[in-house]
Amino acid sequence: MSDERLVFAPVRRLAALVRERKVSPVALAETFLERLERLGPRYNAVVTITRERALAQARRAERELADGHYRGPLHGIPYGAKDLLATSGDIPTTWGAAIFRDRRLGFDATAIRRLEQAGAVLCAKLAMVELAGGMGYRQPNASFTGPGVNPWNRDAWSGGSSSGSGSAVAAGLVPFAIGSETWGSILSPAGNCGITGLRPTYGRVSRHGAMALCWTLDKLGPLALTADDCGLVLEAIAGHDPADPTSVDRPFHHEPAAAGRRFRFGVLAGITDGCEPAVRENFEGSLEVLRTMGTVETVTLPDLPYDDITRTILGAEAASAFEDLIESGAIRGLTAPEDRYLPYARDAILAKDYVKALRLRAVMAREADRVLAPLDALVAPGRIAEAPRLDAEVRSAVRGTARDVMGAVGNGAGLPAVAVPNGFGPRGLPTSLQFMGRAWEEGRVLAAAAAYQARTDWHERHPDDVTVGSA
Amino acid sequence: MSDLQAEVEARFALVRERYGDRLAPEELEAVRTAVEGLVQAARALRAVRLDNASEPGQPFAAYRANP
């Protein structure tokens, strides 16, 4: 198998090669470590390459496989983790912030530990927007590692906030990555980078050892080349963890999508209002594909201030989570100028407003479930536009400079969603399609996304910038 | 001054009192704009009436360490 086919092979394919001992975990780790070292700086994708740990894990996987001990489809598979997940040993955990660039936390987050138990090989801690974007940044240059650069167009952004997780998978630097989403931070980089990203149901994956931005909104999830791969990774990291009391004991077992399954999709009325023309056209094209898989109907949600609900919760919880950094003035050490002063505004959120948002969240969750109950998924454009230029302002629903009803409802109600590539815009950048489902229905949204990917080839296209001949 | 602006100024005064000495004039103005956004969001929330039984969508559980 050529290097190019290897680095852009889905996890399921790599797993078969490893299990059949056609590819050694050590060789696989070396391949991706070399790409991380050579190409990672081009995209500001990497904070720390964990070469020593990766090779130790790869050698162990090789020994275990030789002994006939197979841990499962992630055994011997390299990956990268957003640098808000704690890691043991001498590996820093920076949260993307210059003020934490040398900090060692000395333990593994539960997600990291579960991936180790599954036999996966940690090759890198990946770049991210500082403090996961929770301070109100307006621009791509909001991390001490520099702005996340998009492999499809180096003048464009890869974020945010799991910017390195998005660009590293798109550039073939790792087969999969772990990201986090409070509001948009998995679906956005997945969409901007033309890969697949899964935001699990809130509580599906333990947050223990992950930076807290908002305790009731934060979720961890995979970014990979395919929906099927995201399911494989989710199965490894899902499950109750006593260290995270919000994690839930609901089994998740990933099954590849059954061929010929029919789906029922909903589209919120007016969901493409405000989208760029190319995004709208690609979404219409996607709907044509979805109609070959089942039915598509227009649905409505009641008129509620969805963005305001989720934004108020996010602002209040982030203000408390980073109280020490804000009140001490340590935020002056952040990269984006606006991150150094905008957090002060959140002292103006009243407790009553926060509680009202929490009460309305319950209404929102019930209404979303009512609409979703007869459907397999709500579908919508993943993003309203192509990725912004590196020197452009980032429009954000978190700050109120863009509307994002799907994101507000999905994150506010803790619902799973998967974003898949569905075309390109005029600047050569990917656009995306999202599938959002009822709570705990990751299997359904992944099946729908996988069925879409079985009928399209957007996920099989890779940036010219990183194909082996040109990279 | 409109009712909205009065509320913005009242909330902004708290922020300025706490942090004004560490912010440049243009930063203070940006913070004021952010406070206005927060007030507008709060007003949108307050415009939705809920009955007494509408609880926050967040569980609280009494805690007791084992045993």
Domain boundaries, chain A: 3-304+352-466
Dist CA A428 CA A321 (whole Å):
38
Annotation marks residue A356 as catalytic: no
Dist CA A271 CA A284 (whole Å):
12
Among the options A143, A180, A185, A247, which is catalytic? A185
**pLDDT at position A6, please?**
92
Residue (of A95, A187, A212) closest to A382 by Cα position: A187
> Which tens digits make up the pLDDT trace of A208-233?
999 999 999 999 999 999 999 999 99
Closest alpha carbon within chain A to B59? A246
> What is the Cα gyration radius of chain A?
20
Pairing of strands A430-436, A417-424: antiparallel
Which residues of chain A register pLDDT less than 50?
none
H or E segment to which residue A258 belongs:
none
**Are the beta carbons of A305 and B38 separated by less than 8 Å?**
no
The letter for the amino acid at A373 is A
ipTM of the complex: 0.96
Annotation marks residue A158 as catalytic: no
In order of A136, A139, A321, the CA distances from A158 in angstroms are: 17, 12, 26
Residues of B in contact with A349 (CB under 8 A): 38, 42
**pLDDT at position B57, please?**
82
**pLDDT at position A468, please?**
57
In order of A57, A246, A263, A271, the CA distances from A291 in angstroms are: 45, 37, 9, 18
Q: Which residues pair with A268 in a beta bridge?
A: A299
* pLDDT, one tens digit for every residue, chain B (67 residues): 899 999 999 999 999 999 999 999 999 999 999 999 999 999 999 999 999 999 998 677 788 887 7
- How much of chain B is in helix, strand and coil states, percent to nearest 5? 65, 0, 35
Residue (of A240, A287, A229) closest to A450 by Cα position: A229
Q: Domain spanning A3-304+352-466 has what CATH number? A: 3.90.1300.10
Dist CA A26 CA A121 (whole Å):
10
Residues of B in contact with A364 (CB under 8 A): 57
Pairing of strands A46-49, A78-82: unpaired
Structure tokens, A75: 């055994």
CB count in 10 Å sphere of residue A55:
17
In order of A41, A79, A121, the CA distances from A35 in angstroms are: 10, 12, 15
Dist CA A349 CA A323 (whole Å):
14
Which candidate from A315, A353, A359 shows the least CB-CB separation from B50? A359
Dist CA A356 CA A345 (whole Å):
19
**Widest pairwise Cα distance in chain A:** 61
Annotation marks residue A185 as catalytic: yes
How is residue A23 annotated by DSSP? S
Residue (of A398, A369, A197, A200) closest to A299 by Cα position: A369
Pairing of strands A121-126, A78-82: parallel
Which candidate from A348, A359, A361 shows the least CB-CB separation from B12? A348
**pLDDT at position B59, please?**
74
Structure tokens, A236: 């490894």
Q: What are phi and psi of A402, to 5 degrees?
A: -150, 155
Residue (of A261, A260, A257, A267) closest to A287 by Cα position: A267
Residue identified by tokens 């926060």 is: A354
Which candidate from B31, B34, B44 shows the least CB-CB separation from A305? B44
Q: Structure pTM?
A: 0.97
Residue (of A245, A242, A254) closest to A215 by Cα position: A245
